[in-house]
């Protein structure tokens, strides 16, 4: 039996990697992937907790997160494609139209 703490540590590591990648990467697709990584780290926490407390609600919540993530991936990819079509770049530092 793997202790719950291991799952949580793994989830924390995944989340930190996600954040770090989000902050340092410039490519929009990479940033997008790091967001997915963070979402999955949260999912792992949910599942681990649900297992620990013998509660099914955490598991159900994961399904919701996955559905939202799928929808978000679809919308996000569409945005990325249209950005690429108009600007021929995926570098976020150059996409700063809303800067004051």
Partner 1 sequence: MSHMPYSYIWFIPLLPFAGFLINGTLGRRLPRAVVGTVALLFTALPAALTAWLWTTMCATGAPISIESSIRPSGFDWIAITGFHADFAFAVDHLTLIMLAVVTGVGFIIHVYSVGYMAHEEGYWRFFAYLNLFMFFMSVLVLAANFLLLFVGWEGVGLCSYLLIGFYFKKASAANAGKKAFIVNRIGDFGFLLAMFLLVAHFGSLNFTQIFHSVAQHPEWLGARFLTAICLLLLLGAAGKSAQIPLYIWLPDAMEGPTPVSALIHAATMVTAGVYMVARCHTLYDHSPVALMVVACIGAATAIFAASIGMVQHDIKRVLAYSTISQLGYMFLACGVGAYAAGIFHLLTHAFFKALLFLAAGSVIHALSGEQDIRKMGGLRTRTPITFWCMSAGVFAIAGIPPFSGFFSKDEILYQTFISTNPLRIVLWLVGLLTAGMTSFYIFRLWFKTFFGKPRFEQSGDGARGGVHEPPWTMLLPLCVLALLSVAGGWVGIPSALGGNNGIERFLDPVFANGAATEAAAATTGHGLELVLAVVSVLVAVAGFYIAYVFYYEKPGTAAALAERNRRAYNLVNHKYWVDEFYRNLLVTPLLMSTRGVLELVFERGVVNGSARASASATRGLAWLTRKQISGNIRSYAGWLAIGAAAVMAVMLFGSTLWGAR
* Residues contributing to the site for partner 1 (CB under 8 A): 19, 22-24, 31, 92-93, 95-100
User: Exposed, middle or buried, 39 (CB in 10 Å: 0-12/13-18/19+)?
Assistant: buried
Q: CB of 63: closest distance to partner 1 in angstroms? A: 24
For partner 1, the closer of residues 65 and 95 by Cβ is 95
For partner 1, the closer of residues 65 and 92 by Cβ is 92
Q: CB of 100: closest distance to partner 1 in angstroms? A: 5
Cα angle 50, 54, 57; round to 5 = 50
Q: CB of 26: closest distance to partner 1 in angstroms? A: 8
Which residues, including other chains, have CB under 8 Å from residue 29's CB and lie 6 or more apart?
Answer: 80, 90
């Amino acid at each position: 039996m793997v202790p719950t703490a291991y799952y949580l540590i793994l989830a924390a590591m995944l989340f930190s990697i996600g954040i770090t990648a989000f902050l340092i990467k410039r490519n929009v697709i990479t940033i997008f992937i790091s967001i997915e990584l963070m979402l999955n780290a949260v999912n792992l926490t949910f599942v681990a907790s649900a297992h620990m407390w013998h509660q099914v609600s955490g598991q159900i919540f994961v399904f919701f997160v996955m559905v939202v993530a799928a929808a978000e991936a679809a919308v996000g990819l569409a945005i990325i494609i249209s950005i690429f079509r108009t600007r021929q770049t995926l570098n976020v530092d150059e996409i700063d139209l809303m800067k004051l």
